[in-house]
Chain A
Amino acid sequence: MIGIQHYLGVSVALFCLGFLGILTRRNAVNVLMGIELVLNSANINLVAFSRFGPGNLQGQLFAVFVIVIAAAEVAVALAIVLTLYRLRRTPNLDEADILRG
């Protein structure tokens, strides 16, 4: 029988992989992919608790809002990455040090 722990386990694995991607990648677009993995893991949690919890739809509604915020975040973040690329000719994050004093 597949219970809530199975879904939470998938969510933990997805979160850890996304976190690893955020920590290890130098390319900004790849870091964004890691952030998407983390947001997806949070969504799996919300929907799982909506399914096995008190029996209403609040978790799914919250997941819809998370998806909306992920879309807005990707749009703005890519705009910033493109501006960085125009300034420095690189998408690498550790070369984005123009603001350094």
Chain B
Amino acid sequence: MTASAVVFYIFAAITVGSAAVVVLARSLIYSAFALLFTFFGVAGLYVLLGADFLAATQLLIYVGGILVLLLFGVMLTHKLYDLDLRSEVTQFLPAAIIVGGLFLLLAWPVDLSFTLLGRPMRVYGLLFQTSWATGPGRAPAPTTAEIGRLFMGRYLLPFEAASILLLVALMGAAMIVRRRPQA
């Protein structure tokens, strides 16, 4: 195993393991801090994929912004003096069956294909039986300058639409939480 493979498995384990903690932990605070490690792991995967700008963006926006917002949400929607930060789990068994079925459909790891009445039956995860149309690929190289040029050139309209969306979300969030005067 090469060094990059080892690093990949480390980051993948961090990502998936802490995501499991996010979903299964009893305490909301544990979930929030496990989410921090998930975001770090995903940023590491971005670095391995040669997306340096996106890794930095991930750390800045997800860890610095979204996670802090979620922690605010946790703190503001609970009575902190009795520290009751439990999150209840409901309908766990049917949800686990559905999600487990979905996971096995997508990523069943062993090829058990057989032939039934002259017809081939594929029993193999979609992830593995699909031949992904990969191209020449992009060698890892600094991306920031090129991304900036694309945003200011070819993708100017989506860029502006995203900024308007952010403005609208900002104003909408402020309007929703505003205390209405008692009529």
Please give the residue numbers on chain A whose beta carbons come within 8 Å of chain B beta carbons, in ascending order.
1-2, 4-10, 12-14, 16-21, 23-30, 32-34, 36-37, 40, 43-44, 47-48, 50-57, 60-61, 63-65, 67-76, 78-83, 85, 91-92, 94
Contacts and interface: CB of A to CB of B under 8 A. Distances in A.
Contact of A6 (B12, B35, B38, B62): B12
The secondary-structure label for the interface of chain A is helix
Given A57-B146, A82-B76, A24 B138 contact: no
Contacts of B166: 68, 71-72
Contacts of B46: 47
A78 B173 contact: yes
Given A26-B88, A60-B51, 14 more contacts: A2-B8, A4-B134, A6-B8, A9-B107, A14-B15, A24-B23, A37-B23, A47-B54, A51-B137, A61-B155, A67-B57, A70-B62, A81-B77, A94-B90
A33 to B, nearest CB: 6
Contacts of A12: 103, 106-107, 127
B172 A27 contact: no
Contact of B70 (A14, A29, A47, A79): A29
Interface residues of B, number: 82
A16 B31 CA distance: 16
B53 to A, nearest CB: 7
A10 to B, nearest CB: 5
Contacts of A74: 66, 69-70
